[in-house]
Structure 1
Amino acid sequence: MSSMSNHLLRHGALDEADREWLMLLSADSQLLADLATADLVLWVHTRDDNFTAVGQVRPSSAPTLFYRDLVGQQMREQWEPDVRRAFEEGRTVRSTEPDWFDEIPTQLTVTPVFSSRRVGGKRVRSERPIAIYTRHTNLLSGRHLTRQEHTFRECAEDLFDMIEAGEFPDPDAPEFSRRGAPRAHDGLIRLNPEGVVTFASANALSAMNKLGFGGELEGEALSEVASQLIDDKRHVSVDEALPLVVTGRAPWMTDVDSRGVTVTMRAIPLHRDGQRLGAIVLCRDTTDVRHQQQELITKDATIREIHHRVKNNLQTVAALLRIQARRVRSDEARESLLQAMRRVSSIAVVHDTLSSGFSQSVDFDEVFLRVMKLATEVAAGEGGQTIRPELQGSFGAVPSEYATPLSLALTELVTNAVEHGFDAGATEGRVVVRVERSEEMLSIDVVDNGKGMSESGVGNGLGTQIVRTLVEGELGGSIMWTPTPGGGTTVEIRVPRRWGVSATTAQLAVVPGADGPFPEQSVDDE
Structure 2
Amino acid sequence: MSTLADLLAEHTGLSGEAADHLQTVVAEWQLLADLSFADFLMWVPIYGNEDGRVDSRTEFVCAAQARPTTGPTAHPEDVVDTRLTITDYPQLARAIREVRIFREEDPHWLHDVPMRREAIPVSFRGQVIAVLSRESTLVTPRVPSSLEIAYLGSAADLCQMIADGTFPNPESLTGVHTSPRVGDGFIRLDGSGTVVFASPNGLSAYHRMGHEADLVGERLVPLTKSLIADPFDATEIAHRIHDALEGRPGSRAEAESRPGAAVLFRAIPLRPSGVAAGALVLVRDVTEVKRRDRALLSKDATIREIHHRVKNNLQTVATLLRLQSRRTSSMQARQALEESVRRVSSIAMVHESLSVSVDERVDLDHLLDKVLPMLGEITTAESPLQLSREGSFGVVVADIATPLVMVLSELVQNAVEHAFPEGSAGRVIVHARRSARWLDVTISDDGRGLPRDFSVETADGLGLQIVRTLVTSELRGSLSISAREPHGTQASVRIPLVRRL
Do the two structures share a fold, i.e. TM-score over 0.5? Answer: yes
Q: 1:433 aligns with which of 423, 430, 434?
A: 430
Residues 19-38 of structure 1 correspond to what in structure 2 (within 5 A)?
19-38=19-38
Residues 62-81 of structure 1 correspond to what in structure 2 (within 5 A)?
62-75=71-84, 79-81=88-90
- 2:53 match: none
Q: Distance in 2 between matches of 1:50 and 1:342?
A: 67
The DSSP-based 3-state class of the residue aligned with 1:75 is strand
1:152-209 deviation digits (Å, cap 9, x = unpaired): 1110011111111221111123622633x32212221111222111222222222212
- 1:512 match: none
Given that 1:244 and 1:252 are in contact with CA atoms closer than 8 Å, whether structure 2 keeps it comes out as no
- 2:174 match: 175
1:64-122 deviation digits (Å, cap 9, x = unpaired): 1111111222237775321122233332221122222222222211112123xxxxxxx
Q: Distance in 2 between matches of 1:302 and 1:88?
A: 62
Amino acid at match of 1:331: M
- 2:102 match: 93
Given that 1:241 and 1:252 are in contact with CA atoms closer than 8 Å, whether structure 2 keeps it comes out as no
The DSSP-based 3-state class of the residue aligned with 1:457 is coil
Q: Distance in 2 between matches of 1:10 and 1:293?
A: 43
- 1:486 match: 486
Report deviation, 1:274: 4.7
- 1:52 match: 61
Q: Distance in 2 between matches of 1:239 and 1:431?
A: 61
Q: 1:454 aligns with which of 451, 454, 458?
A: 451
Q: Distance in 2 between matches of 1:400 and 1:212?
A: 44
Amino acid at match of 1:414: V
Q: Distance in 2 between matches of 1:343 and 1:72?
A: 55
Amino acid at match of 2:61: T
Amino acid at match of 1:193: G
Higher helix share: 2
2:171 aligned with 1:162: no
Given that 2:86 and 2:93 are in contact with CA atoms closer than 8 Å, whether structure 1 keeps it comes out as no
Q: Distance in 1 between matches of 2:184 and 2:305?
A: 37
- 2:52 match: none
Q: 2:117 aligns with which of 108, 112, 115?
A: 108
2:286 aligned with 1:286: yes
Residues 47-446 of structure 1 correspond to what in structure 2 (within 5 A)?
49-75=58-84, 79-115=88-124, 125=125, 127-173=126-172, 175-176=174-175, 178-179=177-178, 181-230=179-228, 233=229, 238-247=233-242, 248-249=244-245, 250-258=249-257, 259-272=259-272, 274-381=274-381, 383=382, 385-426=383-424, 428-446=425-443
Q: Indicate the larger mover: 491-500 or 296-305.
A: 491-500
Change (3 A) 1:273 1:90: closer
Change (3 A) 1:212 1:98: same
Change (3 A) 1:19 1:318: farther
Aligned residues: 483
Change (3 A) 1:260 1:103: same
Identity over aligned residues, as a percent? Answer: 39
Please, what TM-score do these two structures have when normalized by structure 2? 0.89
Q: Distance in 2 between matches of 1:274 and 1:161?
A: 10
Report deviation, 1:37: 1.1
Q: Distance in 1 between matches of 2:27 and 2:239?
A: 21
Change (3 A) 1:14 1:378: farther
Unmatched runs of 5 consecutive residues or more in structure 2: 49-57
Given that 2:38 and 2:67 are in contact with CA atoms closer than 8 Å, whether structure 1 keeps it comes out as yes
Unmatched runs of 5 consecutive residues or more in structure 1: 116-124, 501-526
Report deviation, 1:273: 5.1
Change (3 A) 1:273 1:80: closer
Please, what TM-score do these two structures have when normalized by structure 1? 0.85
